[in-house]
Chains A and B, each alone.
Chain A
Amino acid sequence: MFQVLINGLVLGCVYALVALGLTMVFSIMRVVNFAHGQMYMLGGFVVYYLYGEFHLPFFVALPAAAAALALVGAAFNRFFFQPVLANATREENSMLMAVGTALLLENLALSAFGEKQRGVPDVVDGTFILGDVADGGVILTYANAMVAAIAVLVIIALLAFVQYTRPGRALRAVAQDREAARLQGVDVKATTTLGFAIGAGLAGLAGGLLVTVYGVNAGVGSNLSTKAFIMIMIGGAGVTSGAIVGGLLLGFAEAIGYDMLPGSVTYLMIFVAMIVFLVFKPNGLFGKPWG
């Protein structure tokens, strides 16, 4: 049982990181970044090329992945989302744009990188072993531990940024009330771009981190996006605590579910439980009402 809990914890930390990126974008722009999974995938490819193919140090490749995706996020916001939000008669058009960007990124990646699965050499090798797994013991690979640790560090850094720095406070202000923030002198346009960039950057970082344990291929995006949606729905969209709790919950649910139930029934149960949960708590655990 312990092994299951460890698996759940590692998974949960990583999922929390992914969920945070998505919720950041949503809180600022009220748009669900459908391309979140694809941005994660691109982060993985950046690290694959920089660290795996060109042999740059991993701790150079990883920030590079975050930075690259932050740029992509800023560009998307500036060239795709802001025009749509300004012109459309219906707000659903921004969602359509988000879906379009997801399709675009996925297919660009497929054309540019090919369809093959890619992997990178281990950053750290070795395992903490506490007994034989078959007999109920526990193991934790250094690689998984590193991934979880970095995920946690980044989450803490992000929370600190949002809480204590000026741009961070601007983000919170815009998320809370756009008009009031504008009246207070916050540059809403710049802040929105920052928010999207951070959200995308987090996705890229998560991807770059996870390529060391899971590898990457051009098709991993949509599955991850669906999971990210579940996380923020459970936790509450637009709220950081919601994203973290949602991520952890899903990680544990997945690990425990796979252990106790046959394969796909796990996710069926997760979906059904979530639908029932949402009927009673439509905004998730910590979310604010929509509209």
Chain B
Amino acid sequence: MNPLKKRDLVVAIGLLAVMLVLPLFTGGSRYLLSVLMNCAGLSLIAFGVWLTFTIGRINICQAGFALIGSYTTAIAMSSFGLSFWLALPLSAGIAALIGGVIGSFILKLRGIYFSMLTICVTEAIRLAFLNGGDFTRGSKGITGLAQPFGGDSALPMYYLAVALLAIGLGVTWRMHYSRVGRIFRAMRLNEDLAESFGTNVWRYRVMAFAVACGLGGLGGSYFAVFTQSVYPQSFTVQHSIYYMLFCFLGGLEYASGAVVGAFVLTILFELLSQFQQYQTLIYGVLMIAVILLLPNGLMAIRSAGKGERS
């Protein structure tokens, strides 16, 4: 196993292990668990951005697909009375489907055009839900969603988050460290060359994008029951940008990069709440500092000089 993959595996398994046993040490503090649940949900959505990176595109529309997943769950549960356990896979599926359809049109764009277009897709999705009339209840949003587990304890929801995180990690891992992943890498490095080798580039691109959107929908569905509500502004362009930052910070060469970035940044945010008003300012400064000093992400520390194979 090459050193990159080994490090990746160690971090991934380590993190999941820590999360599994952590409740034993936290003494039932809901706050800590809720922060971690937040991190897990965000990681799930960020995986989608990460996957899109592997095919050479910067995806800023994950928030839109998280919103689609959220609303699908909310509408399925409130208007059609479906149970959450049906709504969850449904949300992922619908998000993936819509992602595939939209992707088949927009993936032929590259670079900055693609990214700016994804910003507009996110906004368009938000506006669509805002103007969805009675179906989506417009600006009022859908509230009062029941959590799938009764009772007062936060643990069931917490372990659901850990399970979903493991699924997301698994899917991303499989796609990256497999034949499909190698094809993505080829496409990313030189799209025209890959095409000339006969790989059906278009098909793989759309598939990667659809899976990415599906993961976004999965995360969105979780958040819908976590906050027990969904509004058109639950996921905005700003959130999309944060997901992108998680991936960059964690490291784009490692499947667990999205998770590392999401956890580190979110927890950092919470710790900085001591500084209250200056919180987002410090966050912005730190962001720039990290980009200047750690341009290849946190996970790449100490591997400079080893000569990464890309």
**Could you list which residues of chain A lie within 8 angstroms of chain B, going by C-beta atoms?**
26, 30, 32, 80, 83-84, 87-90, 92-93, 95-97, 99-101, 103-104, 106-108, 110-111, 222, 226, 229-230, 232-233, 237, 262, 264-265, 267-268, 271-272, 274-275, 278-279, 282-284, 290-291
Contacts and interface: CB of A to CB of B under 8 A. Distances in A.
Contacts of B128: 268
B283 A96 contact: no
A29 B111 CA distance: 14
A267 B292 CA distance: 36
Contact of A96 (B105, B113, B245, B280): B245
Given A92-B248, A96-B245, A99-B241, A108 B281 contact: yes
24 contacts: A32-B116, A80-B288, A84-B292, A84-B295, A88-B296, A89-B310, A92-B58, A92-B248, A96-B291, A103-B280, A111-B277, A233-B113, A237-B113, A264-B130, A264-B131, A265-B131, A268-B124, A268-B127, A271-B121, A271-B123, A274-B120, A282-B109, A282-B113, A290-B112
Most buried by A among B108, B285, B287, B291: B291
A222 B237 contact: yes
Nearest to B105: A279
Contacts of B121: 271, 275
A32 B112 contact: yes
Given A226-B237, A268-B131, A278 B106 contact: yes
B151 interface: no
Contacts of A229: 116, 119-120
Contacts of B285: 104
Nearest to A265: B131
Contacts of B310: 89
B109 A97 contact: no
Contact of A279 (B106, B119, B278): B106
Contacts of B295: 84, 87-89, 93
Q: At the interface, is chain B mostly helix, strand, loop or mixed? A: helix
Contacts of B260: none
A101 B120 CA distance: 21
A226 B119 contact: yes
B254 to A, nearest CB: 14
A89 B121 CA distance: 28
Interface residues of B, number: 43
Contact of A267 (B109, B127, B284): B127
The 5 closest A-B pairs by CB, nearest first: A103-B284, A271-B124, A268-B127, A107-B281, A104-B284
Contacts, number: 128
A100 B291 contact: yes
A91 B277 CA distance: 33
Interface in B289-307: 291-292, 295-296
Given A90-B252, A104-B281, A226-B120, 5 more contacts: A100-B291, A262-B131, A264-B127, A282-B109, A290-B112
A265 B139 CA distance: 13
B117 interface: yes
B266 interface: no
B174 interface: no
Contacts of A265: 127, 131
B108 A101 contact: no
Q: At the interface, is chain A mostly helix, strand, loop or mixed? A: helix
B115 interface: yes
Contacts of A291: 110-111
A271 B102 CA distance: 13
A80 B292 contact: yes
B95 interface: no
B123 A267 contact: yes
B116 A104 contact: no
Contact of A275 (B58, B108, B124, B238): B124
Most buried by B among A101, A107, A284, A290: A107
Interface string B249-289: 00010000000000000000000000001101101110110
B244 interface: yes
Nearest to A87: B295
Contacts of B110: 290-291
B123 A226 contact: yes
A110 B123 contact: no
A230 B113 CA distance: 10
Contacts of A268: 124, 127-128, 130-131
Contacts of B117: 233, 275, 278
A110 B127 CA distance: 27
A89 B277 CA distance: 35
